[in-house]
Structure 1
Amino acid sequence: MDRKVLILSASVGSGHNSAAAALETVLRNSNDVTQVRRVDVLQTTPDLYRTLYDDAYFKLVEAAPWLVSWQYDLNEPPFKLGGTASIWDRLNTTAISRSIREFHPDLILCTHFLPARLISLLQTRGVLHTRMAVITTDYDFQGLWLPNTFSRFFVAREETRQHLITLGVPADRVATSGIPVRHELGRPVDRPAVLDRFGLSGEVPAVLVSAGAAGGAYATTIVQQLLHRPEPFQAVVVCGHNAELRQQVDALVAGHTDRFTVLGYTTEMPDLMRVCDLFVGKPGGLSASECMAAGLPMALIDPIPGQEERNSDYLLERGAAIRCNYDTTIGWKVGELLGDPERLTRMSAAAAATGRPHAAGTVVSQMLTDTDDSLWISHGAQRSLLLASEDGLAELDASRRVTALHDPESGRSLALITRSQLDSLQRATRTDHPQEMTVDRSRMRGLRSLRVDPFLLLTLHQMLGDRSQMTFSLS
């Protein structure tokens, strides 16, 4: 089958684009796809919007991390800010919205919540008919990622999937795939050749110090402390795009080039990850998932409040990482680990067990195989999911509990509504069959006159699509 696929990301950090690129690689090797486009949505927006969305966020991380943590926790429940793009986002994404409609893709894969919420808006308005998958890029769920309509929601770990199912999201719409990483990480590596290329002997532990793509200044602190460690090791320090940082690190290790190799930005991180014994850096979703895919233990530095702290929790729980809580003891903590090779071996095994090097292939395979329509979440169900997340299911009134409408033939969930919405619909349609109901487009106006919830009618209208009627079963 010939299909057009659109991959949408947003360059808030480098991870979302990296995940998108991993998906693109798999898609371009698929015989079922005729066209693949990958677009960084932020790069199509006005300069002011892009600056506020990206640069301002990282400045806030530096100046007021407590505020970032508060904002993350505030938006953790789903639908706190609704299920589609905000007015501010809509005003600044008109160009990409028009481009998406003109391309008219059969399938859209989103690796950031901004394009996911934008696509859900276009689908809700009826100006775009497509299937959308949302692919999360951190180990924990954050509410902004869940839109009011989607075909499949991919998460990094099973606990996250169970959390969403418990809240009420249909199980058939949530899949545990892992975070998409570069395909090289799932392949064997020519270890002797890589070691030789980077001046590593292979006789002592190799430490990979990463400053991230942007080049975080914390790398100098790490190197300064490692210089004084007595344990035998060699280190590769990757400074990213920060030329000034590379000069500083070069100056620090002058006279110690037998132990330290300094690089700028490199595309050879998959090779380095597969031959090194310990990664020292921040626990971004992509960095962490790539390390896990390579079986590379991590020493975690200065996680961003919110998603990176949650990533840290998971990696520590899995036994694949240590966390350096004090800037003053990074070198000591790394040295202690290097001096305990048995522990390092156990951590490497834990990392390999956690990793999902074929996550991108899992996502693409499922979405090219799956031909089901979108799931629609009614306004009332959105509110119920929010309340269940904030107050707990036990506090949710029975009338506000969510229930799914299913295709009776395939069993696939079609819509998520509340119990009270279902009861009102059954009364209005005088449905006698307790497990099945038919919705007819010609009767929709009559249902309005019977004061059926207009948001429910909107959901039913969206679920019908181009069909004149549909029969669905009740869960």
Structure 2
Amino acid sequence: MKRPTALILTAKYGSGHVQATSVLANNLRERNIEPIVSDLFGESYPAISTFTQSLLMKSFSTHSSFYKWFYYGTNKLNSNGLVQFSSYFGRKRLLELVFMHQPSFILLTFPLHAASSLKKKSRMSIPTYTVVTDYCLHPYWMNPFIHHYFVSTEAVKSCLLSHQVSEKRITVSGIPIRSQFETPADKQVIYEKFHLCPQRKVITILAGAFGVLKNVKELCELLIHFRTYQIVVICGKNDSLFSSLMPIAFLFPESFRLLGYIEDIHELFAISHCLITKPGGITLTEAAAMQVPLILHSPIPGQELENAAFFAENGAAFISHTTLEVVNHVQTILQNEEISNRMKSAQKYIYKRDSASVIIDHAINEMKQPAIKLV
């Protein structure tokens, strides 16, 4: 008997959508359902996709007003018109995927409206589910033909309700993250692996994410003078940043660890007393799962700023805009256990465990053979 399939539609505009897709795909495989993953826009319009990804990266790295204008400008536009316009994107490629793989359901980790458009035109009746990967909701995610929404928080659910989405079509599932972040770690082994001292507090700087952290070298030069702390900087694939920090690593071998791209980032989260990062939805969820006090540095206007505001307003993070503010927040967290514990408690309240399982369980319970109408 042929394995059932599920189609996951995503996009490469930021790593969060891709990471959530990977987690959902792995969960499907564990249920003996074959995941078919498609970067629908990239496969349909590769040149445009590459250009717009580059434009987005530049807007992040230069703090350009472009992304602010796009996010908040389109937020004020008629979302129905925007959705209607974008519903044509990738429709041909989607039909190819549907006819080829006959999926039992479709998961969206990026607001793509081709599937809903085809459903509207009665060309297919496959249940389509949207998985929101941030702690805010842009109207562009909304579509009357989405079967069900999986969201991060009650606040996002309330936003959908305010736009007349039925409560029956919304589940507060949390954001899907890798199971390693939900599993207890052997901290002693991790300290030894990274040559860190268990008696000294660890400050982790996540610098190589999609939205590159600003002023990392300046920040490290300020923090390194606190000799009772250990600093770990994760540069990801940012080779120029790694090279610029090499002199600090050479001068302070006992208190400074410089890392490139690593798979086992959850291990460092497990021993971190403070995490300095950009406020992507996935990173925030991973930190909340492991209850790591957060400093969210220079969030870009848009979902970064909205994510950061949600965590800060709920007592789960500090927001900083200058390196001196970061240093002050670090001292507050590491020197005041009561504040650190309050932040951890707030994160525990926000975090929803086993999000991927909640989402896939729901989809499987409603799973039907796809009914596709040819025209």
TM-score where L is the length of structure 1: 0.72
1:104 matched to 2:105? The reply is no
1:306 matched to 2:302? The reply is yes
Supply the AA of the counterpart residue of 1:101: F
Question: Against the structure 1 CA distance between its residues 372 and 4, is the aligned structure 2 distance closer, same or farther, given a 3 Å change threshold?
Answer: closer
Supply the AA of the counterpart residue of 1:223: C
| Paired position in structure 1 for 2:15 | 14
- The offset of 1:93, in angstroms, is 6.3
- The offset of 1:153, in angstroms, is 0.7
Q: What is the distance in 2 between the residues matched to 1:317 and 1:373?
A: 44
- The offset of 1:85, in angstroms, is 5.4
| Paired position in structure 1 for 2:263 | 267
Q: What is the distance in 2 between the residues matched to 1:171 and 1:303?
A: 31
* 2:339 alignment partner, one of 343, 367, 370: 343
- The offset of 1:62, in angstroms, is 4.2
SS at match of 2:236: coil
Question: Against the structure 1 CA distance between its residues 209 and 265, is the aligned structure 2 distance closer, same or farther, given a 3 Å change threshold?
Answer: same
Q: What is the distance in 2 between the residues matched to 1:59 and 1:94?
A: 30
Question: Against the structure 1 CA distance between its residues 239 and 138, is the aligned structure 2 distance closer, same or farther, given a 3 Å change threshold?
Answer: same
Do the aligned residues in 2 keep the contact of 1:84 with 1:118 (CA within 8 Å)? no
CA RMSD of aligned residues (A): 2.6
Gap runs ≥5 in structure 2: none
1:22-421, aligned counterparts within 5 Å? 22-31=23-32, 33=33, 35-63=34-62, 65-76=64-75, 79-84=79-84, 86=86, 90=89, 94-114=92-112, 117-214=113-210, 216=213, 218-229=215-226, 232-371=228-367
Higher-Rg structure is: 1
- The offset of 1:172, in angstroms, is 0.3
Q: What is the distance in 2 between the residues matched to 1:216 and 1:64?
A: 11
Supply the AA of the counterpart residue of 2:4: R
Question: Against the structure 1 CA distance between its residues 42 and 86, is the aligned structure 2 distance closer, same or farther, given a 3 Å change threshold?
Answer: closer
- The offset of 1:142, in angstroms, is 0.6
* Cα shift readout 1:122-163 (whole Å, capped 9, x = no counterpart): 323333331111000110111111123111111110121122
Which aligned runs of 4 or more in structure 1 are off by greater than 4 angstroms? 214-217, 371-374
Aligned length: 370
Do the aligned residues in 2 keep the contact of 1:8 with 1:111 (CA within 8 Å)? yes
Question: Against the structure 1 CA distance between its residues 28 and 85, is the aligned structure 2 distance closer, same or farther, given a 3 Å change threshold?
Answer: farther
Q: What is the distance in 1 between the residues matched to 2:143 and 2:163?
A: 15
- The offset of 1:351, in angstroms, is 1.6
Q: Which range is displaced more, 207-216 or 131-140?
A: 207-216
SS at match of 2:72: helix
Q: What is the distance in 2 between the residues matched to 1:213 and 1:312?
A: 15
Question: Against the structure 1 CA distance between its residues 82 and 250, is the aligned structure 2 distance closer, same or farther, given a 3 Å change threshold?
Answer: same
SS at match of 1:36: strand
SS at match of 1:244: helix
Supply the AA of the counterpart residue of 1:79: S
Do the aligned residues in 1 keep the contact of 2:233 with 2:258 (CA within 8 Å)? yes
TM-score where L is the length of structure 2: 0.90
Gap runs ≥5 in structure 1: 375-463, 467-475
